[in-house]
């Protein structure tokens, strides 16, 4: 689940994890994405990732696969303070 993250001056970053997210393949995958915007498919595994976050007063780090066994609603949105 979410593990606590110390609040430092560095800005933590997350990203995809797993077979297809190795350092060498990242650049190539990004280039391909620029050419053809790919959408993930229903019925297939959700790409795993880790991401820093904020949860109930603490900075946390969340890994999607830590939530296996639960139903997940993963929502993306354009930005904080953007009204809708």
Partner 1 sequence: MSIDSQFTHKMWNDHELSKMVDGGIPYPMLSDAGGKIGTVYGVYDEAAGVETRGRFIIDPDGIVQGFEVLTPPVGRNINESFRQIQAFQLVREKGGSEATPSGWRPGKATLKPGVDLVGNVWKEWQTKQAFD
Residues that bind partner 1 (CB under 8 A): 2, 5, 11-16, 21, 26, 30, 33-34, 37-49, 51-57, 59-60, 62, 64-65, 67-82, 84
How far apart are alpha carbons 59 and 7 in whole angstroms? 7
- When the beta carbons of 22 and 54 are compared against partner 1, the nearer one is 54
Least distance to partner 1, CB of residue 81, Å: 6
How far is CA 15 from each of CA 47, 57, 61, 82, rounded to the nearest angstrom?
10, 23, 11, 23
Q: Cβ 3 to partner 1, closest distance in Å?
A: 11
Distance (Å, whole) CA 76 – CA 51: 13
């Amino acid at each position: 689940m979410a593990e606590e993250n110390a609040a430092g001056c560095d800005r933590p970053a997350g990203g995809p994890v797993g077979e297809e997210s190795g350092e060498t393949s990242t650049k190539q995958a990004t280039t391909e994405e620029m050419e053809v915007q790919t959408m993930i498919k229903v019925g297939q595994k959700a790409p795993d990732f880790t991401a820093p976050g904020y949860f109930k007063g603490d900075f946390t780090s969340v890994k999607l696969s830590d939530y296996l066994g639960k139903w997940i609603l993963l929502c993306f949105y354009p930005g904080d303070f953007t009204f809708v």
